[in-house]
Amino acid sequence: MRLKAVFLLLVTQCALLIAHAQTPRTYTSSEILLQLKKLNVLGSVLYIAAHPDDENTRLLAYLANEKMYRTGYLSLTRGDGGQNLIGDEQGVDLGLIRTQELLAARRIDGAEQFFSRAFDFGFSKSPEEALKIWGHDKILSDVVWVIRKFKPDVIITRFPTTGEGGHGHHTASAILAGEAFEAAADSTKFPEQLKYVSVWQAKRLLWNTFNFGNTNTQRDDQFKIDCGGYNPLLGKSYGEIAALSRSQHKSQGFGVPAQRGFSLEYFKTIKGEAPVKDLMDGVALNWFKAHHASAAFQQQVQRSVDKIAADFSAAAPERSVPALVELYKMIDEGIKEDSHYDDTYWKEQKLGEIKKLVEMCSGLFMEAVANTQYAVQGDTLKVTMTVNNRSGANIINADAQIDTTYVIFDQLKPNFNAIKTYNWFIADTAKLSQPYWLENEMNHGSFNVTNQQLIGKAENDPLSVTFSMMIEGKEFTFIKPVRYKFTDPVKGEIYEPVNIIPAFSITSIPEVSVSLQNNDWEIKSFKDKNLFTAPVFSAAGVALEPLIKDTVLQKNQVIVVHSRGIKGTPVSANNKEYVKLRTINYDHIPSIAYTKRSRYIYQNIDLKTVGSVAGYISGAGDKIPEALAQMGYKVITLKESDISAEKLQQFDVIITGVRAYNTNEWMNNVYDALMQYVKEGGVLVSQYNTSNQIGPVRAKIAPYPFTISRNRITDETAKVNFLLPEHKVLNYPNKITDKDFEGWIQERSIYNAENTATEYQKVLSMKDPGETEQDGSLVIADYGKGRFVYTGLVFFRELPAGVPGAYRLFANIIANKRQADNAPKKNDNQNQKIKLPSKFNGSGARN
């Protein structure tokens, strides 16, 4: 009991209070004890669902920390198609953010993270559609691969195959889990994987039933476990850990309160024997699982672990190091490499855990810190390596392998920083730190990854240094990432990942244009004395006049070169493909940097606009203002203080950004001014807001009532019917035809209007396959001399992608009311002339 009191004192700022995403993790004695106990648990559970945020974080926290199982979450997608509550990133950029949010969540709940190659292409109403777009066999092979690698005793799905999970991706994830449960054990399925892994039969497949309010799939006769317990070693209930973990999904606005007390999870058996007493009924969970080792050996390991845990001193954890090293040797020598694969699986797993415990118990500190955030091709990175044997454990002969060099540290003295530096030349040909799933051109519904060994991984292995040393006479090696460390006067010490980037970045300004035939190229150098030639080739491959020639740039120097009417595609500079560096920075995740092919998309659109000044009220973030500028509007972003009936008179149109009414509490305060503006002849356009899920609509939106539904049209090719073909919005200044709905991406509309007052005119209808027509994607009401528009059409996706018809329709929606009313009834016959330069039509990542 006294020991326990000491632990409670020691439970202070553990992993649950990580100051910053990349700060190296530290361990208290109570956390070490938890990990020690885990050494005798040989069991694993894999949870499978479709998206980041689908996972049950309380169950994961319970399985990883109470039951101490190796616990994993396989999210089929990276959530690329979701919404973004914190910024304007969409598509693969959002997937990168959500990947890191999931990893942040896993650092808190203690589970591991996996993904498949499936791309989140947006909401899907049926599993058939999802599996067709993903490629059924491709994603099934990924689920099988993760199962064969992870070897879960029990597999748990979040959703059923029967559709109660709603989203087609959800149902598809359950279908694939069910198929993979059997296929993973079948050597005729995906045999190409078997040179790396063995087949695996999990004991059972369960569905973790849910009660989501409107859908309750929990039944009293289902198997239940209480996951609401308290873990004194962590100083938290699983409901508290779950809330911290789930609240990492910041881009989805999923901050949730902590829960305490008894809390049941329900399970329905889908395949395998049903559990009666325990989730793991019939599964060996200790060292007796090592079938091919002798019973005496199994007992010896089991007892050694118990003894190390019993002898553990919270005040002097380093005293456990000699016994841990002995245990390491015992397992290493006792289970031979030619043993049954399942035994060596657990051998590798447990040796890794013991090594980590040796590091934790000895307070051994190792880090490799770079002097800059980026490792630049053709430049030198200065890396400082530190080893500190803080407890004075028996550790000698430390060295580090960096690049191809061994660096030897001075003899370690207790609590002494042994430091070495190394100038790491990053070859001009060094592989860029590109997220592995973005290396190849992607398909519509999946990423292309050819290296089987990378599939399933959450992210790339970082640039790293390997430290080696003798601990209690046994050599151990530790791989540590190279990190960039700096001190922010407000936030304190911050660590960021170090990415290998090219020596220059070339960005088109703008990237997509509907008005400018010529663009500017912004060239930024990331190293000094960067001799630079940027040739340009025509689409036919003929060399044109270079953008710049033999120009020397210094580090961080930026030059802007006008393209001077060059019609060809610039393909390379210094014999490399033109790429631009894309960076994404948020406090709750490590900074993200990757390269994209530089591109300039010029859409020669037959586009007419009416009016010249647009006011924009930003919501959750979108790129509509840039598109408006392209269309020739002067765009002024409006804050609350800018909005009065008087000040608004200068605007031809006021547009509210996506979810402006969800994110700005003050929209209620400006309602009267906005209505006054409309009454006097203004045009007010409200892009979609959400009715629920991500915060309620906080303010009145329109002059007449309507409600926001959760209806959406996910088929981006859905036939669009013109309910009011004579309506001005379909005719002026651009004559809208079927052609204007070609080439849309991801979806047509979301959060459509419904229950509209009679004043509203419904202009369009469309439907998803197998459903009924919906008419709420574009509703318009005249009010006074002006016009109010609510639209669920996804202009925030289509305009940045340069979709011509979306521009033409948007121009009509925002067309100045007074001028529009004075316009001739019938518009001139206009020929559609939309040229899509073949090189520029953006078949790559859709973001």
Where do contacts with Zn ion occur on this chain (CB under 5 A)? 50-51, 54
Q: Which residue number places its CB atom closest to Zn ion?
A: 51
Angstrom distance (rounded) from CA 674 to CA 757: 19
SS3 at position 496: strand
CB of 54 or CB of 472, closer to Zn ion: 54
CB of 655 to Zn ion, least distance (A): 30
Cα 620 from Cα 636, distance rounded (Å): 17
Whether 452 and 428 have beta carbons less than 8 Å apart is answered as no
Q: How far is the CB of 80 from Zn ion (least distance, A)?
A: 12
Min dist CB 59 to Zn ion, Å, is 16
Strand partners, 494: 486
Outline where 542-685 has alpha helix (H). Answer: 624-630, 660-663, 671-679
Cβ burial of 97 (10 Å; 0-12, 13-18, 19+) is buried
Give the number of residues written for the chain: 847
| Nearer residue to Zn ion within complex by CB, 117 or 420 | 117
CB of 424 to Zn ion, least distance (A): 41
C-alpha to C-alpha distance for 840 and 822, rounded to whole angstroms: 38
Give the Cα separation of 693 and 708 in Å (integer). Answer: 12
Least separation in angstroms between residue 158's CB and Zn ion is: 8
Inter-residue contact 68 to 41 (CB < 8 Å): yes
At CA 766, angle to CA 761 and CA 771, rounded to 5? 125
Residue 550 phi/psi, 5-degree rounding, is 45, 45
Give whichever of 50 and 627 is closer to Zn ion, judged by the CB atom: 50
Chain centroid to Cα 244, Å, comes to 18
Q: Strand 499-501 to strand 374-376: parallel, antiparallel, or no bridges (unpaired)?
A: parallel
To Zn ion, the closest distance from the beta carbon of 584 in angstroms equals 22
- Residue 51 or 527 with smaller CB distance to Zn ion: 51
| The one-letter amino acid at 317 | P
User: For Zn ion, which is the closer residue by CB, 167 or 582?
Assistant: 167
Find, among 690, 618, 623, the residue nearest to 656 by Cα: 618
The smaller minimum CB distance to Zn ion, of residues 248 and 595, is found at 248
Minimum distance of Zn ion from residue 753's CB (angstroms): 25
The minimum distance between CB 120 and Zn ion, in angstroms, equals 9
The total of other beta-carbon atoms located within 10 Å of residue 127's CB is: 24
- 98 contacts 90 by C-beta, under 8 angstroms: no
**In the 8-state DSSP scheme, what is residue 104?**
H
Strand partners, 70: 44
Q: Where are the alpha helices (DSSP H) in 607-682?
A: 624-630, 660-663, 671-679
> Minimal distance in Å, beta carbon 81 to Zn ion?
10
Of 84 and 377, nearer to Zn ion (C-beta) is 84
Which of 52/804 has CB closer to Zn ion? 52
Nearest distance from C-beta of residue 127 to Zn ion, angstroms: 13
Instruction: Return the number of the residue (81 or 804) whose C-beta is nearest Zn ion.
Output: 81
Amino acid identity for residue 388 in this structure: N
Cβ nearer to Zn ion, comparing 50 with 781? 50
